[in-house]
Amino acid sequence: MELALEDTAVTIKVLSVGGKRMSRAIYSQMPRRSPLSNHDCTVQGQLWGIVVDPKCCHRMGSGSTSVDLLRSVTGDGPGGVHRRAIVQSGHMASRVEKYLAHLDRLSGGREPRFFPVESTKQGLRGVTEIVYDDLPDGLLTTLTYGLSLAEHPEWQHGSPELCLSVNSTNVIWAHAVGFLAEQLRGTCPFSYGSTINFGERIVPDSEMTAFCVFAPLVLDRADYLGIDVGVPGHEGHDVINIQGMYPIHEVERQFINEHGLEAFWKSGWEPTDVLRSPAI
């Protein structure tokens, strides 16, 4: 990987992941925002007492659709607090339907697993982990829905959802991202360069204890920026931007906070390898 910092953009060119050739992508931050952030967020409370148990996973069955299942775990359907209906192809489609339809296009219709995370925020529904196994090949990819329901003063050009891609089959990585999205929504900006401190191992078999935020590894710029989930006539008023989450070691978190993300990105680390040694 290589990263180039320009006057108004952070650019990352993905050449390969784990030795596998991937499509070339160029990522740039949205205009009128600082390209890098010095935010350092800390998780409060016990992690695994809140995250959903794996047995709560929802899969599609006969007669069910991805939208049905996501509605069932988010409550974003008829009468839902955060339902934003639109007229599309002769039927009413909610905010979550537009988001999930976008993910379906990106995944080629692959069936994900859904894990709900109960809300601890008054007035906000829970967060959902949308988990794709072996997509891209060999990676566990997780996206969230529910972080963008909150508000933050820095979210001037859209609200974030999170994306994690790791070389692992351990679904705890997905639960960690869902937990962070739910616990830190409204307080952590999840902007490029932000670091998030777990204070303990994220999963038992990895020594990593933190995350940093940058553009998603497996998505093209047009696929992760400016996802319009607004109502007709008000397009662009409700926009989701997908932010990439990268597991890192504590020493790397400290390095990023002191020297910035660009210096760390040039250290030659492998972003999907959760068993790697520190790059610093």
Closest CA to 231 of 106, 94, 102: 94
pTM: 0.75
198 pLDDT tier (thresholds 50, 70, 90): confident
39 pLDDT tier (thresholds 50, 70, 90): confident
Residue 38: per-residue pLDDT: 56
Please report, as a single letter, which amino acid is at residue 62.
S
- State yes or no: pLDDT of 46 exceeds 50: no
73 pLDDT tier (thresholds 50, 70, 90): very low
Compute the distance between CA of residue 135 and CA of residue 139 in angstroms, rounded to an integer: 5
Q: 91-100 burial by CB neighbour count: b if 16+ within 10 A, else e?
A: eebbbbbbbb
